[in-house]
Amino acid sequence: MNRWISNELLAAFDSEGTTAHRLFTSPSAWVERLGDDVLISHKTDAARDALCAGVQEWAQRANFAISRVFTRFLPRQNAERVSPVLAWGAPSLPLEMVVTERGVRYGIDFGAGYSAGLFIDQRANRAYVRARAPKRLLNTFSYTCSFSLVAALGGAQTVSVDLSKKSLDRGRANFALNGLSTDGHRFIADDVLDVLPRLVRRGDQFDAIILDPPTFSRGNKGRRWQVEEQIGTLLHAALELAAPGASVLISTNCTKLDRTALERTARFALKMVRRGGEFHYEAALPDFPAGEGARTLWLHLK
Ligand SMILES: C[S@@+](CC[C@H](N)C(=O)[O-])C[C@H]1O[C@@H](n2cnc3c(N)ncnc32)[C@H](O)[C@@H]1O
């Protein structure tokens, strides 16, 4: 905590083709690099002001040429979320740009709302999907389809499900950015809880399933989604779509769900569907202090 990443780690990211990563983390703020731009996410104005100065000092030490600095307030309530604000740099530059993660290209849009387009704390899980090269991937709560993209680059057929048509359109654009056709890939703009039973009725099966829901949202007909209460139901429904030997990612930002709670949920769901499975955890990210970022668990089914 309270440390900027080292010049060695910055060089390692550059040499692996990753331009989207954390630069700094503290209890009141964090800083991300997104290409040549920097995004400061802050809980207080004091933390923002200190980091606006701090990031310039870091850039000098690291010999890094910052193009722009954006800041974003981290509110307690989702309803208070707003787009990042340009704090430093040329207002004439486009708000849309491209970052890379291990050479894969992702569109970023600082004008698209609170989230700019890529959750960098899922980097290891995306690499894991790429390495496992599933043939059929179901990406629920898919946002801009980053998991679908890495699976498709490995030859998978993918199904991405998100309430937001705009996010799915950005997912399609991410395919195009990497020279991939979307033929044979499905993008379903609907509520995951309504889509899963439909896929079961169709007899669909998947080798990898991504469950990375928000902590809270409103689905079809204003239906309330609360991850602590519904993660078990979601996993149970997803297991019906998991082929033998499938891998299921369970991931959450909800601070009330720790690793033990995720394992308990997974064991219970396995018992309900009378299937066996093993847990796997990806290694911690070098730019995230312990305990920061999403809590995630891979479940490998027998
Ligand atoms: C935390 S983001 C998922 C991030 C994504 N897994 C990634 O790594 O890029 C949550 C997404 O869930 C979507 N969402 C929220 N409630 C939903 C629901 N009931 N059904 C489908 N999508 C939903 C939101 O539109 C948002 O794109």
Give residue 234's pLDDT: 98
Question: 38: which residues sit within 8 A by CB, 6+ positions away?
Answer: 23, 31, 32, 55, 66, 68, 69, 70
Quick one: pLDDT at residue 79? 85
Residue-wise pLDDT tens digits, 134-163: 999 999 999 999 999 999 999 999 999 999
CB of 121 sitting under 6 A from ligand 1: no
**Cβ neighbour number for residue 202 with a 10 Å cutoff:** 9
Q: How confident is the model at residue 111 (pLDDT cuts 50, 70, 90)?
A: very high
According to the model, what pLDDT value does residue 180 have?
Answer: 98
167 CB within 6 A, ligand 1: yes
Domain 3-109 fold: Transcription Regulator spoIIAA (3.30.750)
Q: Which of 127, 180, 189, 254 is catalytic?
A: 254
Take atom 16 of ligand 1 and give the residue whose Cα is closest.
Answer: 217
Active site residue 52: no
Domain boundaries, the chain: 3-109, 120-301
* Whole-prediction pTM: 0.97
Cα–Cα distance, 13 to 4 (Å, whole number): 14
**Range 212-237 average pLDDT:** 96
pLDDT single digits (tens) 31-81: 999 999 999 999 999 999 999 999 999 999 999 999 999 999 999 888 899
Mean pLDDT of 210-223: 96
For 120-301, CATH number? Answer: 3.40.50.150
**Cα separation values, 140 from 213, 214, 237, Å:** 8, 11, 12
- Is 2's pLDDT higher than 90? no
State if residue 164 touches ligand 1 by the CB under 6 angstroms criterion: yes
- Taking the centre of ligand 1 as the mean of its atom positions, its distance from the CA of residue 27, in whole angstroms, is 25
pLDDT class of 1 with cuts at 50, 70, 90: low
Given a contact cutoff of 8 angstroms between Cβ atoms, the answer to whether 175 and 104 are in contact is no
**What are the E-state strand segments in 132-175?**
136-140, 157-162
Contact present, 255 and 76 (Cβ < 8 Å)? no
Look at the alpha carbons of 301, 258, 79, 47 in this order and tell me if their dihedral is positive or negative. negative
Mean residue pLDDT of the chain comes to 97
Query: 181 CA to middle of ligand 1, Å?
Result: 23
